[in-house]
Structure 1
Amino acid sequence: MLVTVGRIGRAHGIKGEVGIDVRTDEPDRRFADGATLVTEAKVSRTLTVASSRWHSGRLLVKFAEVPDRTAAEQLRNLVVQAEIDGDERPEDPDEYYDRELIGLAVRTTDGADVGEVIDVVHLPSQDLLEIRRPAGNAVLVPLVEELVPELNLEKQYVVVADRPGLLDPEGAEVVPTDEA
């Protein structure tokens, strides 16, 4: 099974290193020397990590198949994926793979069924659950304990603490503004 572990950023230096926008909680494992990754593109290709290092808070990776800066620039914005065993779980029990969350039923804290998780959106500040509502529209809910107090993979559901406007954007509170 393939899981997304990063997106290739800009080239670094002249020897073919690239910056990686990390999308995994295990970068040292997924980008270890010798690791094999696959690009998610029209024409998929396999890349082998020759070396990786942290530089100024950014992960830099050198792929064996990328000899220089020109070749590295051709990889920019490609998503890289790692092959993992379908039963593999993150080491931390409070972490989840996206594939484990997609398809979970969504309930409110009072037990009402309100949709299904259809995607996990990764932003620099936090992750979001994309939830398809019964009406067909989708909403984004921050994946934080205050709003998602329970995640039960065994029983295949997630609990969302609904707030005005969270699951029903049209039900949002209107905050009056001062007219000048």
Structure 2
Amino acid sequence: MRIRVALIGKPFGISGEVTVRPLTDEPDVRFVPGVKMYSREGDLILEEARVHGKTWLLRFAGVTDRNAAESLRGRELEVEISAEEVPADPDEWFDRDLIGLVCTDKDGDTLGNVIAVEHPPAHDVLVVRTEAGHVARIPFVASIVLRVDQDGIQIDPPGGLLSPDLDPDA
């Protein structure tokens, strides 16, 4: 089975490195030199992974300059995982499975993308970057989260839950 682990961003420097947005809660485990990463546009072998500030930088075999790195922009990367890494319960989700999923309302309108999952004492919380660009925290409870599958998350948020006024980073 394959899981999504990153979305390639812009080139970094002139020697072929790219920035990535991790779509996994385990980048240290997934971004290991030698791992094969799959994308629709073609497979890549990871040569180097490092963190610069808060940004992950990856270098792939055969990508040696900025132009080659630019050609990778926008690729969604996946890695192969073992059967032991798949949840036994079909209603159980690892954080890595939720990060990157599209969040829609009950009418199917896109609200944003899950960028993180938090685990405070009461219940888990989906952190969603809305289409408007602010961050919303969605309680991961049955009364709000209607459906979760590999294609996305459908929610029925109570009034005001997606308000930019609730974004602590705004």
Is TM > 0.5 for Structure 1 vs Structure 2? yes
Amino acid at match of 1:24: T
| Unaligned ranges ≥5, structure 1 | 103-113, 115-119, 129-141, 150-158, 174-180
Q: Secondary structure at the match of 1:19?
A: strand
**Stretches of 4+ aligned residues off by more than 3 angstroms:** 93-97, 123-128
The alignment of Structure 1 onto Structure 2 pairs a total of residues equal to: 122
Matches within 5 A, 1:4-15: 4-15=4-15
Give the TM-score normalised by structure 1: 0.55
Asked whether the 8 Å contact 2:23–2:96 carries over to 1, the reply is no
Matched, 1:167 2:166: no
Q: Secondary structure at the match of 2:85?
A: coil
| Unaligned ranges ≥5, structure 2 | 107-111, 118-125, 129-135, 146-154, 161-170
Give the TM-score normalised by structure 2: 0.58
Matched, 1:98 2:90: no
Structure 1 residue 84 displacement after superposition: 1.1
Q: Which has the higher contact order (CA 8 A, sep 6+)?
A: 2
Q: Distance in 2 between matches of 1:168 and 1:18?
A: 36
Asked whether the 8 Å contact 2:8–2:72 carries over to 1, the reply is yes
Amino acid at match of 1:85: S
User: What's 1:154 paired with?
Assistant: none
- Give CA-to-partner distance per residue, 1:122-156, whole Å, 9 cap, x none: 2379545xxxxxxxxxxxxx775xx224xxxxxxx
Q: Distance in 2 between matches of 1:30 and 1:78?
A: 16
**Which has the greater radius of gyration?**
1
Structure 1 residue 21 displacement after superposition: 0.7
Matches within 5 A, 1:28-177: 28-39=28-39, 41=40, 44-89=41-86, 95-98=94-97, 121-123=113-115, 126-128=126-128, 144=138, 147-149=139-141, 159-160=142-143, 167=156, 172=159
- Give CA-to-partner distance per residue, 1:72-107, whole Å, 9 cap, x none: 0000011111111244158xx9944428xx9xxxxx
State percent identity of aligned pairs: 31
